[in-house]
Amino acid sequence: MSDLITIAVPKGYLLKETVKSFEKVGVHFPDDFEQSRRLFTYDTSKRYKLLIVRPWDVPAYVEQGAADMGVVGKDVLEEQEPDVFILKDLEFGGCSLVIAGTEGQRIDSLGHHCKVATKYPNCTEKYFRKLGKKVKIIKLYGAIELSPLTGLSDVISDLTATGKTLKEHDLHILDTVFYSTAQLIANPVSLKVHYESITSISAEL
Amino acid sequence: MTDAASLETSDIIPADAEKIEKQVALIQSVFKRFGFQAIKTSTIEFSENLEHALGDYLKQNCIEFFDPSGRRLMLRPDHTTPIARLAATRLKHHAHPLQLSYIDPVFRRDSKAWANDTELLQAGCEIIGDSKPEADASLILCCIDALEALGFSDFGIDIGHVAFSSGLDDAKREALLKGDYVSFGKIPKRCQDFSSAPSDLKAVYELINSKGQADKLYLNEGLVHGIYYYTGLIFQVYVKGCSEILASGGRYDKLCSSFGVDQPAVGFALNLNAIRKAV
């Protein structure tokens, strides 16, 4: 099984951890790679090709088959619900999607049609629908914590690892929507074509 | 001025039309050689005639509209259901098994933005009134011959079974159907050794093996879904480098009974839109 396997990985922390995991099972990627501006690289055995992409773009690469496998946060999978197979919980990159608001706010006391700012409209809408609440979702692309302070929204639904940024903006966690870690995913056709290679690296990692 | 390309149109210019015509002729000759008779079902159906037999996916994604009197109409969202309707009505007293083939489009508005082939050309075969593994094997062999006639050689056929998901609790079954193998607990087994397969799959494997084509077959315990009306064997054909399934099929022994006649049946369809992109 010497077929080349292409893996889409998001730049940053998940890339570092992925390279480390591969290192542990004897797959070496060039050391200077993370500092360089190149967007892809091969391991020394040329069996694996890493594509460096934006976190939100990993499912697109894998779903379309441009990458055979991908490493992606569960948060992105929950939000996009792509047609991919989830092979393994890699257990790094832990964080939570939380509903956060100012002191004194409670989930139960949030009114109908309250405004929620988030990068995760799909998950957030689903969460509130389960509670039987109709909320107005305001889709933002970043600096979500600013939203309740400026009156743009009543609460936010945002990803947090340590809670530090929330605290700095006097925001409190009202509830956790889900816990997220990095997941190893595969394209459904790739898992058939490269079944042995993909299942064995998935078992080793 | 209208934005002429605003819909997911399927206009076909002469160069492509010529290619499709050639593909259709190749497929037709294979279908004929296997003893299938061409059938054409109505493009437009009364919704009430089909919808009770359609699964959620097709019901949600079919294209519906009204006739002048207000009755609901739909564009044919799949071939098997209208063919089952015909088998249970006008073809009820014809000699069985019926061996029918079609090359016509189905119409779906798939919610996946990248799979937006609203008009999807399918070429397929159905054997109605035969529950024996010989019927399943002959369909798979016909599918292999059609793909080889189209110029494919390095394709694989994964064979699954609806029984692979029976006996699972709801959460496990849902995880398996979704392809969430973390929640399912393992990556489903896939191998070329059919000795552990259910007896109906084993029989089909042996029949295909006797024709020297077993090297293409993989037993896939993760292949449990497809169209909701499948009741036994399921298969999917794929080729390296193409992320869409080229052909798929399966046994549907209960579909005809939803039109009032109990007949076992098995069928498959080639996805000619995917095939056009893959060749």
Query: CA-CA distance, B163 to B200, in Å (whole number)?
Result: 11
pLDDT at residue B128 in the model: 97
Q: Given a cut of 60, is residue B226 above it in pLDDT?
A: yes
A106 shares a domain with A10: no
A125 shares a domain with A88: no
Predicted model pTM: 0.88
Q: Where are any strands of DSSP class E within chain B?
A: 37-38, 44-46, 64-66, 72-75, 98-107, 119-128, 155-161, 190-191, 217-220, 233-239, 247-251, 265-271
pLDDT at residue B5 in the model: 44
Question: DSSP readout, A124-182?
Answer: HHHHHHHTT---EEEE-SS-TTHHHHTTS-SEEEEEESSSHHHHHTT-EEEEEEEEE-E
- The domain in which residue A71 lies consists of 5-93+181-204
Q: Given a cut of 70, is residue B111 above it in pLDDT?
A: no
- The domain in which residue B102 lies consists of 14-278
A148 shares a domain with A132: yes
Tokens of B156: 């694989």
A9 shares a domain with A85: yes
Count of domains forming chain B: 1
A185 shares a domain with A170: no
Total residues found in chain A within this entry = 205
Q: Given a cut of 70, is residue B224 above it in pLDDT?
A: yes
pLDDT at residue B240 in the model: 85
Count of domains forming chain A: 2
DSSP state for residue A54 in the 8-state scheme = -
pLDDT band at B119 (very low <50, low <70, confident <90, very high): confident
- What is the domain-level CATH number for residue A105? 3.40.190.10
Which of A64, A87, A183 lies at the smallest CB-CB distance from B187?
A87
- Within a domain: B204: yes
| Chain A positions in Cβ-Cβ contact with residue B238 (cut-off 8 Å) | 189, 192-193
Q: Please give the share of chain B, as a percent, with pLDDT higher than 70.
A: 94
A112 shares a domain with A55: no
A190 shares a domain with A89: yes
- Within a domain: B219: yes
Q: Given a cut of 50, is residue B273 above it in pLDDT?
A: yes
Nearest CA in chain A to B182: A88
pLDDT band at B14 (very low <50, low <70, confident <90, very high): very high
pLDDT at residue A2 in the model: 59
- Residue A92: strand, helix, or coil: coil
Q: Residues A107-125: pLDDT tens digits?
A: 988 888 899 999 999 999 9
- What is the domain-level CATH number for residue B222? 3.30.930.10
Asked if A193 lies within 8 A of B240 by C-beta distance, the reply is yes
CB contact residues (below 8 A), chain B span 57-116, against chain A: 112, 114
